Chains A and B, each alone.
Chain A
Amino acid sequence: MHPAFQGILTIVIGVSGCLAYFYFSNQFLDKVLYPAKGPNAGRNINRANMIRPWLFLFPAMAALTVYLAYPVLETLRLSLTDRDQGGAFVWLDNYTQMFAEPKFWEAMRNNMLWLIVVPAMSTAFGLLAAQLTDRIKWGNIAKSLIFMPMAISFVGAAVIWKLVYDARPPGAEQIGILNAVYVWFTGNDPQQWLTVPFWNNFFLMVVLIWIQTGFAMVILSAALRGIPEETIEAAIVDGANPFQIFFKIKVPQIMSTIMVVWTTITLVVLKVFDIVFAMTNGQWETQVLANYMYDKLFRSLDWGVGSASAIIIMLLVTPILVWNVRNARKEMR
């Protein structure tokens, strides 16, 4: 069967299956199990209403449990076992093996660099863009153009930026804009930017900053609009200059939103895989954890160490997870 038909069939079966499940399970509950009539009508209605939420929740919760909650525990278990020994329990051997690998520490170092640079730069550029576009007439057009990279895949972005970083032999016409500018200004030989150790990390980070700035800008721009006018007017009356207004009046008031943006981008950074995979594949000292893990899982087929590095990513995410859950619980009350 052609996959397109299979796709359409899946949509039809999936959607109608879901709807049928919800409809008939509700019918069953109301008509068969606890009918709202007869001597026990009142009690039956109460019972049905106690069960109904779980009918609504069941498919989603089942999927979440199987596709996210169970894998976390299973990955933890796999990280403590050795596949070559038939899945025998080896405690922390995978971790000690991983900690002895220089490539892992390279990935850790790079990930820490990414964690500092990308959220900081994206938030800063996003804040700048939000403030600049706030009061000008064509602000909305400017915003949607800066926001546009959000729609581009990491792989597409990798191609776009590889063209920017492209290098031709010295003397030839440069077709990468970076080398064209570099050669024109300095007169030096063109550089293979992605192979210059350490600095190449920053050339990769630029790609993610380029993508995430739009996100930061959209959120921060909404927050800037939400600042009460009176506070700004009061500052103007007191003779504050525009920079003082921005840094001393506006920024402190949207600090909580800046934190949200920062943590959201941090999460993206921790999972960043496609950019490194497509642009350097971790060569020239650009390895990051997510790509290291992919290497271990699907190239070396070493599930133990691969799972161990996944757990490291999970540990790095955990503080944000706890913070988010706490905030959510606060709101529920």
Chain B
Amino acid sequence: MDNIAGTKSSLSWAVQISTVLLVALWLFPTVGLFVSSFRTADQISGSGWWKSLFPSEQTEQYRAADPDENRVADGDVFVVRGNIFAEAGEDASGKAISTWGTSSRAVSAYEAGAVAEMKGGETITVSGSGDYEWRGDEDQMSGRGQRVFVTVTSPPEFTLENYELVLFSGNATDGMAKAFFNTLTVTIPATIIPIVIAAFAAYALAWMDFPGRALLVAFVVGLLVVPLQLALIPLLKLHLGIGIGKGYLGVWLAHTGFGLPLAIYLLRNYMVGLPRDIIENARVDGATDFQIFTKIILPLSFPALASFAIFQFLWTWNDLLVAKVFLIDATGQTTVMTNQIVELLGTRGGNWEILATAAFVSIAVPLMVFFAMQKYLVRGLLAGSVK
């Protein structure tokens, strides 16, 4: 299609631009969360995250230093000098004041560097960098510091405070550290155990001849689509009945059970495609099925094993329902990250700095796995659905 005369250049431009737009549209929401997780609460509620990437202009109120302590005599008047950002404990570097004022009714009455005359000869001047000089007589230079309203352009500013709070503070409601380890504890056994069980079954279904094999394959394919919602109550009853109760063992078993159909299906499809010669030669040489399986089939099936491992990892890491039903009890000690985030949505609905950071902490691991092992994920998807 690239070489249709006359249509190439305009169409290929259209394709490039549409692709850029589509990718931008798909990426935009995630980037928003990512950027927000590096902003303070005030920044997030003050402006949209997309503005945080550029210098922002805001009007804010500051106060000059306490005159009783800082004034210095200069002839018959007193002077207080300083930097208004420094007085408020802020970093002045990169900030630029365009206009300022001394009353909330006229916040941009003066240009930077201009001198404001107030009642009784009291004056104050604020420069573009925030340095000020405030002078007046003894009565005027006492009490509280002079209020100054400035319109200031600040450079983009980001912070790691949110991550500190969410990961290391140990705060029970906002902290994600414990939930992170709980999620990990759920995920790893729930990923590995089904692989072992399914691999043996897949081998039997692919390379062993026995009556009822077709029926069993159909059984597995059928179970592939059974909604796990149906399994919740009966299995919870079963777990409570045999004494497993709510806990890690229960959630491991449940994830194993729910992951098996896909595992068996993917692995069987892959193993069926392995060359028949190798297996038959091994048989002729006197290898047992167990040896063929462990020495030939398993190493050759690595791509399929990796595909399923990624699926199962993503699915168990991201799962909310199974954890809520089989794991999380009234004490909340075993909460997982997805559940923690849902609870934050309830208690911290407006605190985007905490929500965004918590969500990003839970998303980060799957994203890393995704980008590192995308090849196997795609391969697994193709093997799992296209016939």
Contact = CB atoms under 8 A, between A and B. Distances in A.
A177 B252 contact: no
A170 interface: no
Interface string B1-14: 11110010001100
Given A63-B256, A219-B385, A219-B386, A15 B290 contact: no
Interface residues of B, number: 120
B260 A60 contact: yes
Interface in A5-54: 6-7, 10-11, 14-15, 18-19, 22-23, 26, 30, 50, 52-54
A324 interface: yes
A313 interface: yes
A311 B262 CA distance: 22
B257 A64 contact: yes
B362 interface: yes
Contacts of A177: 28, 32, 48, 50
B341 interface: yes
A109 B214 CA distance: 38
Contacts of B224: 324
A interface SS class: helix
Interface stretch (A99-107, A116-124, A197-205, A314-322): A314-322
A27 B385 CA distance: 37
Interface residues of A, number: 119
B230 interface: yes
B201 interface: yes
Given A154-B318, A160-B30, A242-B1, A63 B197 contact: yes
A68 B223 contact: yes
B192 interface: yes
A164 interface: yes
Contact of A222 (B48, B182, B386): B386
A251 interface: no
Contacts of A320: 225
Interface stretch (B76-84, B169-177, B367-375): B367-375
A102 to B, nearest CB: 21
Contacts of B289: 26, 52, 56
Given A67-B235, A273-B321, A151 B214 contact: no
Nearest to A6: B248
Interface string A151-194: 11111101111111010100001111100100000000000000
Given A63-B256, A236-B4, A294-B321, A160 B192 contact: no
B155 to A, nearest CB: 19
Pick the most buried of B28, B181, B192, B363: most chain A CB atoms within 10 A of its CB.
B363
A175 B230 contact: no
Nearest to B198: A60
Contacts of B334: 3
Interface stretch (B60-68, B130-138, B142-150, B203-211): B203-211
Interface of A: 3-4, 6-7, 10-11, 14-15, 18-19, 22-23, 26, 30, 50, 52-54, 56-57, 59-61, 63-64, 66-72, 74-75, 78, 125, 128-129, 132-133, 135-136, 139, 142, 144-156, 158-164, 166, 168, 173-177, 180, 210, 213-215, 218-219, 222-223, 232, 236, 241-242, 245, 256-257, 260-261, 264, 267, 270-271, 273-274, 277-278, 290, 293-294, 297-298, 303, 306-307, 310-311, 313-314, 317, 320-321, 324-325, 327-329, 331-332
20 contacts: A4-B181, A10-B252, A30-B288, A53-B209, A59-B201, A63-B257, A132-B19, A145-B26, A146-B23, A147-B378, A152-B363, A175-B47, A213-B26, A219-B385, A222-B382, A245-B1, A290-B227, A303-B233, A310-B232, A324-B222
Given A219-B382, A324-B225, 7 more contacts: A10-B249, A64-B219, A68-B258, A71-B232, A147-B374, A163-B36, A274-B320
